[in-house]
Amino acid sequence: MLALATRRMLNALITIWLAVTLAFILLRLLPGDAFTARLSLSGASQTQIESRRALLGLDAPLLNQYVSLITNLLQGDLGYSLVSGRKVKEMILEPFGSSLVLAGGAMVVGMVMGASMGVTAALGRSRLSRVSAWLIAFASVSSPIYWTSTLAILLFSVGLKWLPSIGAGAGIRPLILPWLVLGFTVSGGMARLVGTVLNELKDSDFARTARAKGLSQKRITYVHLLRAGAGTIITFIMLQIGFLLSGTVVTEMIFVRPGIGTVLLSAIHDQDFPVVQGVVILSALIYCISITIAEVTAGLLDPRLRMSSL
């Protein structure tokens, strides 16, 4: 078990390093940068621009820039924004909590909605309930988040006036619509996965034994079947985190909620590459941590996986 965990961690480090390198290469291909553009707009002379660029290390050879990026990263330093001059780490970590609340809540909503749709689609009593659960799951994967949010705002904020259309402010009320919308977007994939897993497992030997023992169908479904499929489902949930991050960007924009997404969109707009690079590194880090957790948990739950991956 320890060997597996160490191996996974090593793999995660390699992945993060490759993702950082990928971001470095992509972003250095950019023709201009925000810094130079802003300085020339403000009327700075060519020599002034050059001296400032030298100060930030922007004119150093690429290899040197790369080496200093990696050494800085190892010390937890993400550099400075080219637009505001602020520390990238601060710019990203400050709104991180707000994005985490949005994404985390949406994940819970999505998993509960997805699991119940999947259970109904696979084991629902009537054909009607099975088909409708299946159709809702399909509608979820077929609706872009900007459209479901617009529809939700039209219905619940403009029409019924139940909830605010702005996702910021104190309390839980402003968060309800963003949570529901983002949760619905994530739920479709979850529903289809749970449905497939249950369809595969419902005729297995242990399910038949449990039924013969006289256990209720509910107990069999939630305790026996879903636990047997837990490895697959946990891995899927962890893989959804990247997708969730993408959804968070759009949700924050539509519900005018400050967060990583708004920071990212304006950084992209301004070609502020240290900030974009910081977000890429942060998401790679989150991805690797969640994948490692998923793999180790799956190994804990299913001894076969532990053996085969060693």
- Binding site residues, another protein, CB under 8 A: 11, 14-16, 18-19, 21-23, 26-27, 29-30, 138-139, 141-147, 150-151, 153-154, 158, 242-243, 245-246, 249-250, 253-254, 264-265, 268, 271, 276, 279-280, 283-284, 287-288
Whole-angstrom Cα distance, residue 23 to residue 26? Answer: 5
Closer residue to another protein in complex, CB, 182/210: 182
Whole-angstrom Cα distance, residue 100 to residue 35? Answer: 30
Report the half-sphere exposure of 217 (CA within 13 A, side-chain side).
9
Residue with the two structure tokens 């490759």: 18
Closer residue to another protein in complex, CB, 20/226: 20
Q: Least separation, in Å, of the C-beta of 268 and another protein?
A: 5
Closer residue to another protein in complex, CB, 187/283: 283
CA 219, 225, 228 angle in degrees (round to 5)?
Answer: 135
Q: Least separation, in Å, of the C-beta of 225 and another protein?
A: 18
Whole-angstrom Cα distance, residue 301 to residue 125? Answer: 30
Closer residue to another protein in complex, CB, 28/53: 28
Check if the beta carbon of residue 250 is closer than 8 Å to that of residue 261.
yes
Long-range contact pairs involving 128-135 (C-beta distance under 8 Å, separation at least 24): 133/191, 133/195, 134/195
Whole-angstrom Cα distance, residue 228 to residue 235? Answer: 13
Q: Least separation, in Å, of the C-beta of 29 and another protein?
A: 6
Q: Least separation, in Å, of the C-beta of 19 and another protein?
A: 4
Q: Least separation, in Å, of the C-beta of 199 and another protein?
A: 8
Q: Least separation, in Å, of the C-beta of 76 and another protein?
A: 19
Whole-angstrom Cα distance, residue 292 to residue 286? Answer: 10
Closer residue to another protein in complex, CB, 54/151: 151
Closer residue to another protein in complex, CB, 80/287: 287
